Each structure stands twice: as structure tokens, then as C-alpha cells.
């Protein structure tokens, strides 16, 4: 009897153990997957068979337990690709998704991965692990979605790689609409974000936690140990819009934007590394708005952004601000941070705009200065002395400076006993990491500073504390970024090296055939002669077309239908046209974009080329976007108009090109404007467009231009027009410049060609 009882107990325990282990169900198609999900119980593992799963809308639901989650995973991580019009929605408790690869498609809903199925079926204690979303972007760049939406509570995104979003909307959105979604304690950890290309308009954040309507709600989201690489979508890499979030030990590598405390209070930014370089003035650090933030132990290297993108940007607020605008900075602490080779790293009262009351409504006037703010125990170090490390756009009487050290004379307007010049020494540990030779022991013991117990590398401050983000000693390995530690273990975003191949052609048939067969990076060389092209040549990859002999340029004559282009720029197209004579028949375009499906940026470079007899040189349609357009050492003549980059006319902050460089070239007999480059809407979340018009000759142009403006740059933020010769152009204005943005013509020669006009404050349509 005793033996029988023992056997029953063992059998019972064995049965419970088996249930916890669960079943393994392999599925090969959507119907099998639906059935497996419907019948899954705690501990079950559903395995998607390797291969392409196309046009699938997966609903993964169930009730797992902490010890026995329900798992949905790839048979082999990375070998299950979710393609076409597809998405994944998760609803339930203790569910895990692993190893899926989203590519070659886009979501039919608001998100690619959603931590809810509907408003009643939300995810709690669920995880997405070791997954990849790559270039899973909408066909129209202005169609908004989010690649990952967090709802519910205690959900996690860990060791995932997310890259290539080029359409509108934050890559990741944490939603707080409803009590069941606040106090959520989500974990966003160990991921690799980026690159995210420049978008050419707002709503290009990589991560947004909350929104304006829920900005006073507590979220407690933790963003830690992630790598943000070249996240260039807009000025806000991270847009914090809720309370009590933490940003710890992340690396921001060459990102043209900042970690922005846009709304919400009481956030902690601790132990992050911001790495810039000499090649961009748009890489930023931390921007501070609102109340009670703690900014400690952060390291900044070569952050050279200005104003909104400076290494530390502390904003002015709007008195009695509406919920969606800018609250005053109060009770914030900035302590134990290090700034190395940053250009004017501290900028206070950024956005102060009291002088624009005649063009802006009251809710946009930022006059509330930072108050009850402490800036203490920080280091500013520059190898080449920066005598103006601090810039203030208003008084800084609400900021208390204590024991901050600078290694150059401070000639800024902001001076204090708490800003001390000292002969600091730094030791180079890597290309971007400089550490103090000795710890600077003179410290300010502020309120609760004793709770700052570790430095940027999590070394204890107990034994040997010092100013700045770093205390000694430092392990040499800290100067190396191990990309394998972030994102999906099986995925690499390293670009495959293009093999440059040269194809030589001697006829139009050979040219079109070569273009059809070309791979990205191909160079097509044209022998001297005339190439008669009757239909547009589509450019949807990286292609160079040039004459074989620079002194014997080939001629391309385009005879296609009216309003069609010789070269049709598609999504991702990258064309270099060099040493070519390009002719039209007066009613076509030399270049134009596709009218639809311009989901990623194109690039156009024209060099040593003559373009004549076209209706327009470049016609960029709405929703198209060029990262860079460059015209150098070329001639444009006998055309009706020049470059049209003005179809984003909804005044929502969008524009058609990020960088436009026109240099060393000649415009002759262009009937209307030579450039129409437009950005509308009062928006500060983007670079805002960039024009360099340098060392050109413009003669006999603009006689049919109705606006009377030869170079139209309405709303473009960065405009430089210098050392040009304007001769006999029958127009009223060469350009109307934006004084607030310091746009000034320099060293231009003007003969019978109108004048430059400057408008100090540009009146624009409000977007919000």
C-alpha cells in the first residue's frame, strides 16, 4: 500500500512537470498556425517552419505563465521571413516571440508588431526577442505607421534589430491611453536601432514614449543598453512624452538628433554615450524641457549641433503652456557629465523667441526661463580651446552652477564661481573616448548626490569619486563598441561591399540593355556619339553614367512624350551623370521622380554636364525625397525652369530634399526660376533643408517668373548663397532670405539683376 501511494505521488509530479514543459507544434502554413495558437496552453512552443511567410496577419494570443510561457518562434532564427503585406499582433499573458525576420513588405495596419490585438485583448508580461524588422516601410513615405507599438504592462523588446524606416511615424511608440497602459514598466533593452534615414519632415523619431495628450501620465519605461546608430529621421531620436522614464547606458552613435525630454517629468538620463564627428553639425545630445529630470554620468564626444541639437540644450518654456507645447524647465539636475571636443556644449534658454510675437500666437512664445536648476560637477574639455563653451539666449538667473571645470578661458556671457577654468588633462583610450588623467576631487555635494553611486561605465564612485562622467581606473575595452552585443544575434546590418563594374556602350540599345542588367555600383561608359532615347530610363539603384572620354562627350537626345523625364528617379535610385551633353525637345524634364511609391530617398549628382532644351531640369513630385542633389561644374541653358522641389505644399513641415548643392555652374536663358525649394509649416523637428549656391553664373534668367524671385527658398532653414555672378536677370529679387536663420548673401556680383531681400521673421502656418 505504501509503495502504491509513493508511485501515485511520483506519477502526479511527473504529470505536472510534463504539462509545464508543454508541447512542441511545428506549423507550415497560416491555417496550421491559427489552429496551433487557438489550442496553445502554458508551456507550448509553436515553431514556424523555415521559409517565406507572405501576406500573413498573425494574431498570437493565449495565457502562459511566468515559468511556462507560450512561445512562437522561428524554426531557425532568421530563416523565417515575414514578407509582403503582413503584421503581428500579440494579446494575452506571458507570450514570447523569437527569431522572426520582417522584410520585403509593409504592414497593412498601424504597426508591424503590436502588443495588443484589440482594445480588449492586450499584452501583459510578453516578450519579443531576437527579431529583426528591416526596411519594412510603407510605399508612400508620408503614410504613417509605427513598427512596434507597446500597450499593456511589463512587456519587453530585447536583442532585436530595427533598421531602415523611411516613412512617417516613430519607429517605436509606447502608448499610455487608458489606466491599463500606465505604470507599465516596459523594458526596451539590448537592441540595435538604425540606421534610420533622414525623412525630410517631422514624425521621424526612433522612439516615442507617450504623446502630448498623455504626457502627464506615469510610464516607468526603461530604455537601457541599446545602440542607436545613425538615427537621422529628425531632431528627436527619442521623444519622451510621459513621466518617470529611465534612459540608461545607451550609445548614440553619429545620430543627427537628440534624446529629448519633450513632455513629462521626473525622468532619469544616466550613463549614456553620445558620439559625433567632424562631418555633421546636426548631431545632438540631450534637450531638456519640463520638471524634475536627473541627467548624470553621460559622456559626449564631438557633438557640434546648435540650439535644439547642442550637446546640452535647456529650453525656455511657454508660460501656462498648452499641453502640446513647451513647459518651463524647473528642478532639473545636470551633474557628473563629461563633454569632450563639443562645440558650445551648454546652451540655455534655447528657443527663446520673444521677438517674434508679431508672427506667432501667444502659445508659441517661449519666455519662461529655466528655474531652480543645478548644473554641478561636470567637465568641459576641448583639445582646441573653445572660449565660448556656454551660450544663453536669455538670462540664466535660475541656474545654479557648482564645481564645473573647463580647460579653456570662458569668454561666454555666462560666468559664475561654479564655472572654473583649470588645466585639465585627458588620456586617449580610443577614437572617441578620452578619460581624465587624474580624478578631479573638488565636488559639490548636492541634495541626494550621495545616491549617484556609479559612473558612466558602472564603476563605483564610493572609493574614488571625481567630477565628470568617468572615474578611474577605466578598462581599455570601454573604448570599443561591440556591435554584436546589441540586436539579434544572427543578424548583421553591415552593407555588402559593392563590386564596381564598368560597362562600355556605343549605342542607345546597348545603353538601355546595360541599364536593365546593371547591379548597384555599375559604371556605364558612353563612347562619343549621339544616343537617341525615346523612353525614360529608370534609375532605382546606384548607377554612374559618363562619357568614356572627358574631352569627347557623348550626347543623349531625349524624344520621349511631353512631361516625361530622360531619367526617372525611383525609390533608392542613386544617379551620377558625368561629362554628358543632355538635350530635350522643350516639353520634357531632364530628371523627375516617380509620382508614387517613393518610399526611400534618391540621390542625384550631375557633374561636368550640359543640360539644354527641357521644360524643367528636375521635377520632384509630392512624397518624393532626395537626400542629396548636387550639380557641379555644369551648364543649364534654354530651359523653361530649373529645379522644382516644391510639391510638399501642405505646410506640414515636409520638404523634397535635404541637401542641395549647386556649385561652379552656369544658368543661361532659364525662363522662370532656377530653383524652387519649399518647406511650409512652423516646425523645428528637422534639419529643415540645406542649400549651398556657390560660385555660379546666372545670366538672362527669370523673365517669365511671376513671383519675381529667381532662387525661391521659402521656409528652408539653411541657405548659403555666395560668390555668384548675377548678370542681366529681369527679376525683382534674386532671393528672399530668412533673417532669423542668419541667412546672408556673401560676395555676390549683381549686374542688372534685382536684389536680395531679407525677412527677419517668417510667418508660417501653425502645424499644431
* 246-280 pLDDT, tens digit each: 999 999 999 999 999 999 999 999 999 999 999 99
At residue 497 the predicted structure's pLDDT band, cuts being 50, 70 and 90, is confident
**Is residue 731 pLDDT above 90, yes or no?**
yes
Distance (Å, rounded) from C-alpha 420 to C-alpha 104?
55
For residue 414, give the C-alpha cell.
555666462
Tens of pLDDT along 308-324? 999 999 999 888 887 88
Question: Which tens digit of pLDDT belongs to each residue from 118-148?
Answer: 999 999 999 999 999 999 999 999 999 999 9
pLDDT at 17: 39
506-542 confidence digits (pLDDT tens):
999 999 999 999 999 999 999 999 999 999 999 999 9
Q: Which residue's entry shows cell 500666437? A: 361
The whole-angstrom separation of Cα 603 and Cα 585 is 25
List, for residues 435-458, the tens digit of each pLDDT value: 999 988 889 999 999 999 999 999
Averaged pLDDT for residues 490-500: 81
- For the stretch 456-465, contacts whose Cβ atoms lie closer than 8 Å and that sit 24 or more positions apart, written own/partner, are 456/271, 456/272, 456/273, 456/297, 456/298, 456/299, 456/338, 457/271, 458/249, 458/271, 464/439, 465/439, 465/441
Q: E-assigned strands of 358-477?
A: 373-376, 379-381, 390-392, 399-402, 404-406, 419-421, 426-428, 434-436
Average pLDDT score over residue span 406-412: 93
Share of the chain above pLDDT 90, in %: 87
Give the β-pairing of 616-619 and 426-428.
Answer: unpaired
Q: pTM here?
A: 0.94
Summarize the confidence of residues 476-493 as an average pLDDT: 94
pLDDT of 763 above 90? no
Among 703, 730, 543, CA closest to 638: 703
Alpha-carbon gap, residue 370 to 314, rounded angstroms:
7
pLDDT, averaged across the chain: 94
Confidence at residue 212, expressed as pLDDT on a 0 to 100 scale:
92
Write the pLDDT tens digit of every residue in 679-729: 998 877 678 999 999 999 999 999 999 999 999 999 999 999 999 999 999
Residue 14 has pLDDT above 70, yes or no: no
E strand or H helix at 38? helix 30-39
Inter-residue contact 765 to 651 (CB < 8 Å): yes
Which segment of 712-726, 734-748, 754-768 scores lowest on mean pLDDT?
754-768
CA distances (Å), 497 to each of 133, 197, 453, 520, 577, in order?
A: 22, 19, 45, 10, 22
Report the alpha-carbon distance of residue 741 to residue 393 in Å, rounded. 14
CB 582 within 8 A of CB 530: no
What's the burial of 591, exposed, middle or buried (CB within 10 Å: 0-12/13-18/19+)?
buried
User: What average pLDDT does range 609-633 have in this prediction?
Assistant: 97
CB crowding 229-238: b at 16 or more within 10 Å, else e = bbbbbbbbbb
Residue 415 burial (CB count, 10 A)? 11
CB 434 within 8 A of CB 479: no
CA–CA separation, 553 and 224 (whole Å): 56
SS (H, E, C) 138-182: CCCCCCCCEEEEECCECCEEECCEEECCCCCCCCEEECCCCHHHC
Amino acid at each position: 500500500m505504501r509503495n502504491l501511494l509513493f508511485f501515485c505521488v511520483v506519477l502526479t509530479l511527473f504529470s505536472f512537470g510534463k504539462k509545464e514543459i508543454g508541447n512542441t507544434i511545428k506549423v507550415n502554413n497560416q491555417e496550421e498556425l491559427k489552429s496551433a495558437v487557438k489550442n496553445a496552453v502554458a508551456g507550448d512552443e509553436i515553431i514556424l517552419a523555415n521559409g517565406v511567410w507572405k501576406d500573413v496577419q498573425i494574431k498570437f494570443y493565449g495565457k502562459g505563465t511566468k515559468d511556462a510561457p507560450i512561445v512562437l518562434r522561428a524554426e531557425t532564427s532568421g530563416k523565417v521571413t515575414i514578407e509582403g503585406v503582413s503584421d503581428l499582433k500579440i494579446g494575452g499573458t506571458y507570450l514570447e516571440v523569437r527569431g522572426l525576420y520582417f522584410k520585403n513588405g509593409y504592414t497593412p495596419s498601424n504597426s508591424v508588431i503590436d502588443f495588443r490585438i484589440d482594445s480588449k485583448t492586450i499584452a501583459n508580461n510578453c516578450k519579443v526577442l531576437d527579431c529583426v524588422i528591416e526596411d519594412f516601410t510603407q510605399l508612400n513615405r508620408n503614410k504613417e505607421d509605427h513598427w512596434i507599438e507597446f500597450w499593456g504592462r511589463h512587456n519587453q523588446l530585447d536583442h532585436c534589430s530595427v533598421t531602415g524606416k523611411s516613412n512617417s511615424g516613430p519607429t517605436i511608440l509606447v502608448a499610455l491611453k487608458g489606466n491599463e497602459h500606465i505604470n507599465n514598466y516596459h523594458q526596451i533593452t539590448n537592441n540595435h536601432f538604425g540606421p534610420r534615414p533622414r525623412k525630410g519632415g517631422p514624425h521621424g523619431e526612433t522612439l516615442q514614449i507617450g504623446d502630448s495628450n498623455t504626457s502627464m501620465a506615469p510610464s516607468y519605461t526603461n530604455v537601457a543598453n541599446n545602440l542607436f546608430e545613425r538615427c537621422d529621421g529628425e531632431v528627436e531620436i527619442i521623444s519622451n512624452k510621459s513621466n518617470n522614464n529611465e534612459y540608461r547606458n545607451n550609445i548614440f552613435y553619429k545620430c543627427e538628433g537628440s534624446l529629448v525630454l519633450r513632455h513629462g517629468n521626473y525622468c532619469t538620463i544616466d550613463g549614456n554615450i553620445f558620439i559625433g564627428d567632424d562631418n555633421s553639425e546636426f548631431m545632438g545630445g540631450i534637450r531638456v524641457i519640463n520638471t524634475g529630470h536627473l541627467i548624470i554620468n553621460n559622456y559626449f564626444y564631438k557633438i557640434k549641433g546648435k540650439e535644439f541639437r547642442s550637446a546640452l540644450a535647456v529650453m525656455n518654456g511657454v508660460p501656462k503652456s498648452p499641453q502640446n507645447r513647451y513647459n518651463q524647465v524647473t528642478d532639473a539636475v545636470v551633474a557628473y557629465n563629461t563633454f569632450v571636443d563639443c562645440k558650445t556644449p551648454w546652451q540655455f534658454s534655447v528657443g527663446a523667441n520673444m521677438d517674434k510675437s508679431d508672427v506667432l500666437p501667444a502659445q508659441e512664445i517661449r519666455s519662461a526661463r529655466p528655474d531652480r536648476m543645478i548644473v554641478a560637477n561636470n567637465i568641459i574639455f576641448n583639445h582646441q580651446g573653445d572660449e565660448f563653451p556656454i551660450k544663453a539666449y536669455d538670462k540664466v538667473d535660475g541656474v545654479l552652477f557648482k564645481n564645473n571645470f573647463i580647460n579653456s578661458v570662458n569668454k561666454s556671457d555666462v560666468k559664475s564661481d561654479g564655472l572654473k577654468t583649470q588645466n585639465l588633462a585627458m588620456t586617449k583610450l580610443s577614437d572617441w573616448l578620452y578619460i581624465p588623467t587624474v580624478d578631479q576631487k573638488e565636488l559639490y555635494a548636492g541634495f541626494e548626490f550621495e545616491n549617484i553611486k556609479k559612473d558612466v561605465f558602472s564603476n563605483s564612485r564610493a572609493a574614488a569619486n571625481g567630477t565628470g562622467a568617468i572615474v578611474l581606473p577605466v578598462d581599455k575595452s570601454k573604448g570599443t563598441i561591440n556591435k554584436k552585443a546589441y540586436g539579434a544575434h544572427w543578424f548583421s546590418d553591415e552593407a555588402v561591399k559593392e563590386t564596381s563594374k564598368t560597362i562600355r556602350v556605343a549605342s542607345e540599345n546597348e545603353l538601355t540593355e546595360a541599364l536593365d542588367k546593371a547591379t548597384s555600383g555599375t559604371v556605364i561608359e558612353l563612347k562619343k556619339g549621339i544616343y537617341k532615347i525615346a523612353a525614360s530610363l529608370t534609375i532605382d539603384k546606384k548607377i554612374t553614367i559618363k562619357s568614356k572620354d572627358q574631352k569627347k562627350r557623348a550626347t543623349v537626345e531625349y524624344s520621349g512624350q511631353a512631361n516625361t523625364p530622360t531619367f526617372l528617379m525611383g525609390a533608392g535610385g542613386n544617379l551620377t551623370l558625368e561629362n554628358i551633353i543632355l538635350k530635350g525637345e522643350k516639353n520634357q524634364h531632364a530628371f523627375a521622380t516617380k509620382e508614387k511609391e517613393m518610399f526611400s530617398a534618391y540621390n542625384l549628382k550631375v557633374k561636368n554636364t550640359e543640360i539644354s532644351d527641357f521644360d524643367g531640369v528636375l521635377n520632384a513630385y509630392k512624397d518624393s525625397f532626395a537626400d542629396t542633389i548636387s550639380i557641379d561644374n555644369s551648364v543649364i541653358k534654354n530651359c523653361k525652369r530649373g529645379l522644382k522641389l516644391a510639391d510638399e505644399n501642405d505646410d506640414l513641415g515636409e520638404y523634397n530634399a535635404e541637401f542641395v548643392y549647386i556649385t561652379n555652374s552656369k544658368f543661361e536663358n532659364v525662363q522662370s526660376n532656377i530653383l524652387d525649394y519649399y518647406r511650409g509649416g512652423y516646425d523645428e523637428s528637422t534639419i529643415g533643408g540645406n542649400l549651398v549656391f556657390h560660385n555660379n553664373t546666372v545670366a538672362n534668367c527669370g523673365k517669365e517668373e511671376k513671383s519675381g524671385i529667381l532662387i525661391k527658398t521659402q521656409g528652408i532653414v539653411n541657405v548659403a548663397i555666395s560668390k555668384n555672378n548675377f548678370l542681366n536677370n529681369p527679376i525683382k529679387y534674386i532671393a528672399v532670405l530668412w533673417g532669423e536663420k542668419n541667412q546672408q548673401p556673401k560676395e555676390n556680383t549683381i549686374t542688372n539683376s534685382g536684389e536680395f531681400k531679407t525677412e527677419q521673421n517668417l510667418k508660417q502656418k501653425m502645424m499644431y
